[in-house]
Amino acid sequence: MIDLRSDTVTRPGREMLEAMMSAKVGDDVFKEDPTINALEEKAALMLGMEAALFCSSGTMTNQIAINVHTRPGDEVICDKLAHIYLYEGGSIARLSGSSVNLLSGDRGRFTVEDVKAAINPDDIHRANTSLVAAENTMNKGGGAYWDINELKKISSICREKNLAFHLDGARLFNALTETGERPEEYGNIFDSISICLSKGLGAPVGSLLLGKKDFIKKAIRVRKALGGGMRQAGYLAAAGIYALDNNIKGLKEDHRRAREIGKVLEALPYVDEVFPVQTNILIFKLSEKMKDTDFIAKLSEKNIKAIIFGPQTIRFVTHLDFDDSMMEEVITALRNLR
Ligand SMILES: *Cc1c(COP(=O)(O)O)cnc(C)c1O
């Protein structure tokens, strides 16, 4: 089976499993798990942040950040395609009682002018704008990555207006692989960053929330309140350390394979449009000749899985467990589809 539904489908290999099996562990709620502590220190250093917090998922790290940065009744500025808004169970409202001001960016990437226009004036009739959130790479935007200069401009407006600036960096390392930027530059731009270890980096579980020490102290309290305090989770953190040490370099290959499939798709008669392929996410629109559900069923007959990502819209995601021979199989299957 070739699974292109998501980069979350990877399974830990032998070396990662060995690192997990030999991890030293303790009770993390007492901050006594040496492997979790090591992972948090390592990630904070990498991203130029003071501290980090290991959590079970990217939804949890994002929503903890939103909860710390806002008060009930506040407003969060983000793109209308943002994962925090579309795919996290309504948690901005459910857990933090905030509303959203949705921007219409270019495949999820908005500008500093968009942000300026969306900040509410200091008026008792209006919700208090307290947070701006960006996503890099943009999942629903087809893996598009940001221009760091725009992020820097947004960051300075946020500082000027006393707003927090959060990054959903579930796939930040995919973006950095293409831009060649150093991850520590991102620590200066944002008040908080979430990164996923269980996407392209191939760990079985886990995300990290990064920020200043006082922010992380508040985040630990929220994580506990959400039931997210874990005990001997160092076995999972060991997979995260292994992933950061070994699996960033392979992202380039994931991107190359996505681009190669993208080129093939562009030439197919049943494909109307392929979003520009910048990283490991490929989004394309089928023509009227091919119904989305038929497409998925036909691929499935060839043992290939993908997901429908909107009407007549398909998403493929390349990952660590998808190699060149699988890519050739997918390309052959796509060319032979009628
Ligand atoms: C996957 C993902 C997350 C986190 O999802 P979890 O499944 O909760 O780990 C957050 N943001 C983006 C953009 C994602 O793709």
Q: Give, using CA atoms, the residue closest to atom 3 of ligand 1.
A: 58
Q: Render pLDDT for 147-161 as a digit per residue (tens, 0 to 9).
A: 999 999 999 999 999
338, pLDDT greater than 90: no
Atom number in ligand 1 closest to CA 88: 8
- Determine the distance separating the centroid of ligand 1 and the alpha carbon of 42, expressed in angstroms: 21
Atom number in ligand 1 closest to CA 137: 13
Output the pLDDT for position 262.
98
d(CA 212, CA 170): 19
- Determine the distance separating the centroid of ligand 1 and the alpha carbon of 335, expressed in angstroms: 31
Atom number in ligand 1 closest to CA 57: 9
Average pLDDT over residues 254-280: 98
The answer, yes or no, to whether any atom of ligand 1 lies below 6 A from the CB of 168, is yes
Where in the chain are all domains bearing CATH 3.90.1150.10?
Answer: 250-336
Domain covering 250-336: architecture = Alpha-Beta Complex (3.90)
The answer, yes or no, to whether any atom of ligand 1 lies below 6 A from the CB of 135, is yes
- Determine the distance separating the centroid of ligand 1 and the alpha carbon of 275, expressed in angstroms: 20
Ranges of H-type helices in 11-131: 14-21, 34-46, 58-69, 83-86, 91-96, 112-118
Give the CB-side neighbour count of residue 106, counting CA atoms within 13 A.
8
Map residue 13 onto helix, strand or coil.
Answer: coil
Average pLDDT over residues 209-218: 98
d(CA 234, CA 23): 6
Map residue 207 onto helix, strand or coil.
Answer: strand
d(CA 193, CA 135): 10
The answer, yes or no, to whether any atom of ligand 1 lies below 6 A from the CB of 170, is yes
Amino acid type, 139: N
Residue listed under structure tokens 């630990």: 220
pLDDT bin (cut points 50, 70, 90) of residue 254 is very high
Dihedral sign (CA 61, 47, 247, 171)? positive
- Which residues, 6 or more positions from 301, have their beta carbon under 8 angstroms from its beta carbon? none
Residue listed under structure tokens 């449009």: 273
d(CA 242, CA 198): 12
Q: Give, using CA atoms, the residue closest to atom 4 of ligand 1.
A: 58
Taking the mean position of all CA atoms in its chain, how far away is CA 239?
18
Task: Give which of 95, 57, 53, 43 is closest to 74, Cα–Cα.
Answer: 95
Where in the chain are all domains bearing CATH 3.40.640.10?
Answer: 10-246
**Distance of CA 180 to CAs 28, 42, 145, 147, 148, Å?**
34, 20, 12, 12, 11
What's 10-246's CATH class?
Answer: alpha beta
Longest CA–CA separation in the chain, Å: 62
The answer, yes or no, to whether any atom of ligand 1 lies below 6 A from the CB of 101, is no
The answer, yes or no, to whether any atom of ligand 1 lies below 6 A from the CB of 155, is no
Q: What mean pLDDT value characterizes the chain?
A: 98
Q: Render pLDDT for 104-140 as a digit per residue (tens, 0 to 9).
A: 999 999 999 999 999 999 999 999 999 999 999 999 9
**Distance of CA 167 to CAs 121, 248, 277, Å?**
24, 19, 21
44, pLDDT greater than 90: yes
Atom number in ligand 1 closest to CA 8: 1
d(CA 266, CA 272): 8
- Determine the distance separating the centroid of ligand 1 and the alpha carbon of 59, expressed in angstroms: 6
The answer, yes or no, to whether any atom of ligand 1 lies below 6 A from the CB of 280, is no
